[in-house]
Amino acid sequence: MLKRKPLYSTLLYLAVICLVVYLIAPFLWLIIMSFSSANDLTQKPLRWIPSKLDFSSYKDLLTMGINSRGELFVNALRNSLTTAFIAVFVSLLVTIPASWVLSRYPGKKSWVLTTAIFTFMLPPVAYALPLYRMLTRMGWLDNSVSLALVYCTIVLPFCVWLIKANIDSIPYELEESAIIDGAGITKRILLVVMPLLLPALGTVSLLALIMAWDEYFYALLFTSSKEAITLPVVIANLASGRQSNYNLIAAGGVIASTPPVLIGVLFQRALIRGLVQGGVKE
């Protein structure tokens, strides 16, 4: 390798340091705030390093008492998980067979794929009003299952887009030899395509889970109590209150970020490959 000029190296490392500070400083500060006492965070000038580690905000949010903040928060945590898993499960269940048809018989019903991708681009406000009326009329507001079904508007188009691109990359010859051996459609999908699709399905599910975990708009509209309210709504409500429990807000944020950040760190490569694949193929 060529020896680099010292000026170049200096500039390079300077840029890298700036980048690292930019990447971690805001979130690091959120973590520090979450371990500070409320008193430390309302000093002027600000105390950058807490006088002592204070875990009370985490304890506050994660202890279940009747009608306490902890009860709402823990319920929201559970609801967020339930809603995200149901939405992704339903989406995968219906998109896998459909994606197979769209991939293997591109001429047939290609409008289905176009429609799916198109809906990905529309603002949720375009569906929210009738959905709200329908859920009210049926008494399905504030319900994790109906919220999960509504989440399919976001998750499903995304899944078809990526899963179809992934089936495209599985050679059709494999299925042809299965046909010669007398395999029907069910066997072709379950025994030939599925095993090869599994890694990609893992990636797509993780991306879709993060997507559903992140959703705020529908949850804000359709949930109101501990029965179905999700974490983003609870956190936004915490922050919009008049009181200055900054450490509590920060702790809520850190807890809500933990699952997606862990998934991100553990599966970074696969996630990026999954995201890029869908688009570049076209």
Partner 1 sequence: MVTKGTRWYSLLLAPMMLVMGAVIGWPLIQTFVLSFTDSQLMDASQPTFVGFQNFIAGFKNQGFHDALKVSALFALVVVSSEMVLGTGVALLLNEPFRGRNVVRALLILPWAVPTTVNAIMWRLIYNPEYGALNSLLFQLGFIEKYISWLGSADKALGSVMFADVWKNFSLVAMIALASLQSLPDSQIEAAKIDGANALQRFRYITLPHLIPSLQVALVLRIIEAVKVFDIIYVMTKGGPANKTRSGSIFVYQEAFTNSRMGSGAAYAIIMVCLIMILIAFYLRGISRKEN
Q: Which of 62, 64, 179, 185 binds partner 1 (CB under 8 A)?
A: 185
- Specify the residue, 64 or 129, whose C-beta has the smaller distance to partner 1: 129
Site string for partner 1, 32-51 (x = CB under 8 A): -x-------xxxxxx-----
- Between residue 197 and residue 256, which ones bind partner 1 under the rule CB under 8 A? 210, 213-214, 216-217, 220-221, 231-233, 235-236, 238-240, 244, 246, 249-250, 252-253, 256
- According to the binding rule CB under 8 A, does residue 23 interact with partner 1? yes
Q: Which among 30, 29, 25, 27 is positioned nearest to 249, based on CA atoms?
A: 30
Q: Which of 149, 170, 208, 209 binds partner 1 (CB under 8 A)?
A: 149
Nearest distance from C-beta of residue 14 to partner 1, angstroms? 11
Q: Which of 16, 138, 190, 198 binds partner 1 (CB under 8 A)?
A: 16
Site string for partner 1, 108-147 (x = CB under 8 A): xx--x--xx-xxxxxxxxxxxxxxxxx-------------
- Specify the residue, 65 or 119, whose C-beta has the smaller distance to partner 1: 119
- Specify the residue, 53 or 121, whose C-beta has the smaller distance to partner 1: 121
- According to the binding rule CB under 8 A, does residue 183 interact with partner 1? no
- Specify the residue, 195 or 265, whose C-beta has the smaller distance to partner 1: 265
Exposure of 59 by Cβ count < 10 A (0-12 exposed, 13-18 middle, 19+ buried)?
exposed
